């Protein structure tokens, strides 16, 4: 019998826990450690952020789901990993600090035989002075509560526009190393939609501020689409949407600080600029959560398990190499931690070997380049893959082969939808295979048969369907396992 501990209950960790609950024989234990009491379908925070959905529609409590599936749930945050045990026991352990009201601040060490690190990102608003909703000067859609605040701020701006004021609204990335450009892309067009619905679009200047060097990069080095034998790039495809909707784009930008009503940013040419704004939604960069690691005697070994970013090192090639030497083989396949055959890191928690987009610095040496996206579908696939590897290890023995889920072989879909009705919405839908381009296998880096971009109502229906399907799946309702990650 084995004890499996999952750190984090987001898309990746929750998926892993649910699959473990159906794959493991009785007698084995599954423990989920998460500081949050609720599960949040983060892609739909975009709709919350413009008032089209309520918080209640995108979150639900975790405890009842885990109770139903026989999973132990601890509302706490992990603070340290002891992968070889300690002076009291040879069994590995995790130090946790409770966030549950009534036990808040209490600590405990729990033991494990297998560990999945799915802790997700630390939202590093502090990397840019003045960024963020908590004491900063911008709003966010990273959490459901952030999105509610963003919706309120947007409504205030719309009322001012209705009063005849001319306003500037800025949406995008709040740092040169941000990821999740797709979320900012989707939100800016939802804001555009709300302004048009309110009849105030002509009074608004809408700006998309991004660290991407070209539109359509999305942190994946862009895409090539083929339609009826004609090839076009995601840069041209995305640019046409911006022109059609009258959204201005500021590219290759690193936000250095945000003062009330003023964004200060540097561009790739090394010049420094300011942008006055009345409403601003800028996403933060991500880092690993504050986890440390210790050996048996209590000596710190954090740098052995984690990269400087705070993300856990796995079976990737972390050898520094120039962009021209990057290959699909650099990317991890099993997500097993370096040096430990009973630890996995999945979703945002694993350390990428390098960016996917071409690395760039400004003329002043400032890094201005998107970090690799690892959210949504890829996170769910990784969580399931780690669960299957652990289940095989427990049922078949330690020699069982790990399952693979390389982002260099995995496809993904991004549906950027605006509006929320069945007849009034629209979407820019993109699919790619693989996520990490493989130029040795495909001339354009990706399979043109499965890398496509389309705009229309059908994509919007898909986005609505996915919202309800994935919440159904996350609640572990009947036949949930038949819904793909």
Other beta carbons within 10 angstroms of residue 383's beta carbon come to: 31
Query: Strand pairing of 29-34 and 72-82?
Result: parallel
Q: pLDDT at position 228, please?
A: 80
Give the gyration radius of the chain's Cα atoms: 22
* Residue 15, helix vs strand vs coil: helix
Q: Look up the pTM and report it.
A: 0.96
Domains, the chain, in order of start with CATH, read 3-123+286-396 (3.50.50.100), 125-285+410-482 (3.50.50.100)
Q: Cβ atoms within 10 A of the Cβ of 26, count? A: 6
pLDDT of residue 229: 82
- What CA–CA distances, in Å, run from 288 to 78, 93, 120, 222, 443? 12, 19, 7, 25, 34
At 422 the pLDDT is 63
- Residue from 458, 452, 411 nearest 434 by CA: 411
- CA distances from residue 437 to 50, 183, 298, 355, 441 in whole angstroms, order as listed: 34, 21, 42, 11, 9
Predicted pLDDT at 321: 95
The two tokens of residue 315 are 């079976």
Tokens 């990737």, located at residue: 316
- The beta-strand segments (E) located in 277-361 are 279-283, 286-288, 292-293, 343-345
DSSP state of 116: E
Residue 298 makes CB contacts below 8 A (sequence gap 6+) with 86, 87
pLDDT digits (tens, 9 = 90+) for 398-447: 899 999 999 999 998 888 887 766 666 778 888 999 999 999 999 999 99
What pLDDT is stored for residue 416 in this prediction?
81
Residues of the chain with pLDDT under 50: none
Question: Between vectors from CA 148 to CA 143 and to CA 151, what angle results, nearest 5°?
Answer: 125
Distance between first and last Cα of the chain: 28
pLDDT at site 460? 79
Kindly report the length of the chain. Answer: 485
């Amino acid at each position: 019998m084995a004890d499996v501990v999952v750190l984090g209950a987001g898309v990746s960790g929750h998926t892993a826990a649910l699959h473990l609950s159906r794959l493991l024989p009785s007698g084995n234990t599954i423990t989920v450690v998460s500081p949050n009491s609720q599960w949040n379908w983060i892609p739909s925070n975009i709709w919350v952020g413009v008032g089209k959905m309520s918080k209640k529609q995108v979150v639900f409590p975790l405890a009842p789901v885990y109770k139903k599936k026989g999973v132990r749930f601890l509302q706490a945050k992990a603070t340290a990993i002891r992968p070889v045990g300690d002076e009291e026991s040879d069994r590995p352990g995790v130090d946790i600090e409770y966030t549950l009201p009534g036990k808040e601040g209490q600590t405990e060490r729990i033991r494990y035989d297998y560990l999945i690190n799915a802790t997700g990102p630390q939202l590093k608003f502090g990397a840019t002075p003045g960024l963020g909703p908590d004491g900063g000067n911008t709003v966010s859609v990273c959490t459901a509560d952030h999105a509610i605040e963003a919706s309120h701020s947007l409504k205030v701006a719309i009322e001012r526009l209705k009063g005849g004021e001319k306003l500037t609204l800025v949406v995008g990335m709040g740092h040169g190393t941000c990821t999740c450009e797709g979320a900012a892309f989707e939100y800016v067009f939802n804001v555009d939609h709300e302004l048009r619905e309110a009849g105030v679009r002509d009074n608004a200047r809408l700006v998309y501020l991004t660290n991407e060097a070209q539109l359509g990069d999305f942190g994946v080095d862009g895409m090539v689409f083929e339609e009826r034998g004609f090839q076009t790039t995601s840069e041209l495809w995305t640019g046409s949407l911006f022109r059609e909707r009258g959204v201005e784009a500021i590219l290759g930008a690193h936000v250095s600080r945000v003062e009330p009503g003023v964004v200060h940013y540097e561009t790739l040419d090394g010049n420094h600029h300011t942008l006055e704004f009345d409403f601003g939604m800028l996403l933060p960069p991500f880092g690993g959560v504050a986890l440390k690691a210790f050996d048996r005697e209590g000596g710190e070994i954090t740098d052995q398990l984690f990269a400087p970013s705070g993300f856990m090192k796995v079976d990737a090639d972390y050898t520094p190499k120039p962009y021209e030497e990057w290959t699909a083989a650099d990317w991890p396949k099993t997500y097993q931690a370096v040096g430990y055959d009973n630890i996995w890191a999945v979703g945002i928690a694993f350390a990428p070997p390098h960016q996917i987009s071409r690395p760039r610095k400004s003329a002043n040496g400032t890094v201005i380049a998107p970090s690799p996206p690892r959210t949504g579908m890829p996170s769910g696939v990784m969580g399931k893959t780690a669960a299957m590897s652990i289940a095989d290890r427990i049922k078949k023995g330690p020699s069982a082969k790990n399952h693979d889920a390389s982002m260099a072989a995995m496809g993904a879909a991004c549906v950027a939808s605006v509006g929320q009705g069945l007849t009034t919405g629209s979407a820019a839908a993109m699919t790619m295979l693989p996520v990490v381009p493989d130029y040795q296998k495909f001339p354009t880096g990706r399979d043109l048969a499965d890398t496509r971009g389309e705009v229309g109502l059908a994509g919007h229906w898909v986005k609505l369907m996915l919202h309800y399907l994935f919440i159904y799946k996350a609640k572990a309702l009947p036949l949930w396992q038949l819904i793909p990650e």
